[in-house]
Amino acid sequence: KSALPSLELFPFYGHAIQHILNEDTSERPNTACFTYDWRRSLEDLLLEFEEFCEAKFPGKPVQVVAHSMGGLLAFGAMRRNPEKFAPGGVFVGVPFGTGIQYFQDLHRGYFTELNRCRQFMPRDTFTMSSHWSFFPQTKEEGAGLFVDVTGQENVTFVADKSAIGKPGNEFKLDPIMGTDIDVNFYDVDEWERLEVGVFDPTLKLDEKTKLMYKQHMKIQLEKAKKWRNTVHKAKDPDEELPPLVVCASDKVPTINQILRRKRSKSKETSKAKKRVYDNKKAVVLPDMLSNVPTLPLAQVQTISNCTWEYDYISGRSVQGDGRIDFDKAFPPDYVDCKKVRLDSMHAKQMCWKESGGSFDRIWKETVKQIARYEMTLRAEQIRRHEEVIKSVESNLESSSRRRRWPNRILLARARRQKEPAGEQKRSSSKFPFSRRLVRRLGRKRKAERDIEVQQGETVSARTSDSRRFGRQWRRGRRHQ
C-alpha cells in the first residue's frame, strides 16, 4: 500500500528514454542517458556533461536530445567543442531567454506541474544553484515583468498562490498596468528588500541564519551571471555551430508578469499567526549551507516592518508551455536553427501523444537530423575521394612533362634495337648530327694539313693519317 495514495506518479522521461535506448529489441543503438542533479550550478554540470560524453563516446561525434535545463548544458558544450557534437542537437523547452517564472519557486516553494505537489520549501530552494541563472540581467530584459499595483482599482489579485500547472488559465496578452519595479536580481540585498522566500518576515529567521543564506546566494549569483554571459556571448565570425532543431510549445498560457502590493495589517497579522515557525526549526539549514562562512552580525541591516504580497496568477499570460515563454525558448539570433512548434505543456513534452506529449514529433526531427548528418558524411567522403584522384592525375601529368625528352630518347633507342643490323647502320648514317660532325672534323683536318704542308711534310704521311682517323671514327660509330 502506498504511503501517499493521493500522489500520482507520472514518468516524465520514462517513455522517451525507453524508446531512445530501444530496450525492446536486440539491436540497441549506441546511446547513453546523462542524468544529473538539476539543483547544482550549471558550470559544474557542464563539466560533468563534457566528461560523460567523452567517456561514453571517446573520439566519436555525439548527437544530443535535450529537454529544459539539459538544453542549456548541451548548448554550452557545443559552443566549447563543436566538433564533438557535429551531428547536431534537438532541444525541447529550453529556457534560452530569461524570465521571472522561477521567482515563485523561491518565494512559495517548488511545485510540480502535474499534481501540484510542493516538493521544496523556500528554505530549500534558496540553497540550490541552478535557478539563479534564469533571471533577467538588464532593465530591458525585466521591463514590464515585475509590477506594483498597490492602490490600483479594479485589479484582480490572488495573493501568494502558485501558477505552475494551474489548469484553466487563459491567454491575457495585455499587461496589467502599474508601476514597474526596477529589480537587480543578481544583488543579494534586493531579495531581502523584496522580502522574498527566506527573507519573508513571517518566517522569523534569526539574523545569523539570514546572513548565511546571503553569503551562499552571493556566490551562486556571481557564478550564474558569469556562466550565462560566457555561454551566450556573441559568436565569433569564424565560429561554426552544429545544426540545431529547437522545439517549443505555444499553446499553453504562460504567466510572465508578477504583481505586487502592500499587505494589509489584518492579512499580515492573520498570516503571521499561521506561518510562525518554532525557533529550533527555523535555524535548521540544509547541508549545502553547513560550510558557508559567516560575516559579523554588525554588518546585517535590519529591514522595515512593511511586508508585501505577490500574485503569480493574475498577471499577463502569453504563448508558451506553462513554464517558458515561446519567444524565450529559442537561442540568440546569431544561432541558425530549425524551429518546431509543439502543443504540449513543459512537463509532458517528452511524452508520447497519447499521454498529452509531443515526443513523436521530436523523435521524427531527431531521425531527420541524424540522416542529414550521414548524408553530409557520405558527400564529404566522395569529395575527398575526388580530390585524391585529381591530385594523383595532376602528379602523373607533371611527372610525364618532366620526363618527356628522356622518354623520347629511350623510345628511339628501343626502335633502333628492334631494326636489323644493316638497316640500323644505314639509318644511323642519315642522322643530321652525323653529317655536321663529319664536316666539322673535315674542316679541322684540312686546316691541320695546310699547316703540315707549310712545314714540309709529305703527302703520303698526311694521307695515312687521314685514313687512320677515318677508320677510328667509323669504328666508334659502330660501337654506339
pLDDT one-digit tens code per residue, 242-255: 999 999 999 999 98
pLDDT for 291: 47
The one-letter code for the residue type at 322 is G
- Give the global pTM: 0.71
pLDDT band at 231 (very low <50, low <70, confident <90, very high): confident
pLDDT band at 444 (very low <50, low <70, confident <90, very high): confident
Whole-number percent of the chain with pLDDT over 90: 29
Cα–Cα distance measured from residue 216 to residue 205, given in angstroms and rounded to the nearest whole number: 16
Asked if residue 148 lies in contact with residue 178, where contact means CB atoms within 8 angstroms, the answer is: yes
Backbone phi, then psi, for 151, in 5-degree steps? Answer: 85, -5
The stretch 206-231 carries a mean pLDDT of: 90
pLDDT for 118: 59
Q: Is 171 helix (H, G, I), strand (E, B) or coil?
A: coil
Task: Return the higher-pLDDT residue of 185 and 435.
Answer: 185
pLDDT for 296: 42
- Tell which residue, 34, 166, 56, has the closest CA to residue 113: 166
| Residue ranges covered by each domain of the chain | 14-380
Residue 50 C-alpha cell reads as 563534457
pLDDT band at 372 (very low <50, low <70, confident <90, very high): very high
Whole-number percent of the chain with pLDDT over 70: 69
Out of 185-194, 271-280, 372-381, least confident range: 271-280
Largest CA distance in the chain: 156
Cα–Cα distance measured from residue 138 to residue 11, given in angstroms and rounded to the nearest whole number: 37
Cα–Cα distance measured from residue 429 to residue 27, given in angstroms and rounded to the nearest whole number: 81
Q: Is 25 helix (H, G, I), strand (E, B) or coil?
A: coil
pLDDT one-digit tens code per residue, 384-411: 988 888 888 787 777 666 555 555 555 5
Asked if residue 112 lies in contact with residue 119, where contact means CB atoms within 8 angstroms, the answer is: yes
pLDDT for 277: 40
pLDDT over 70 at 122, yes or no: yes
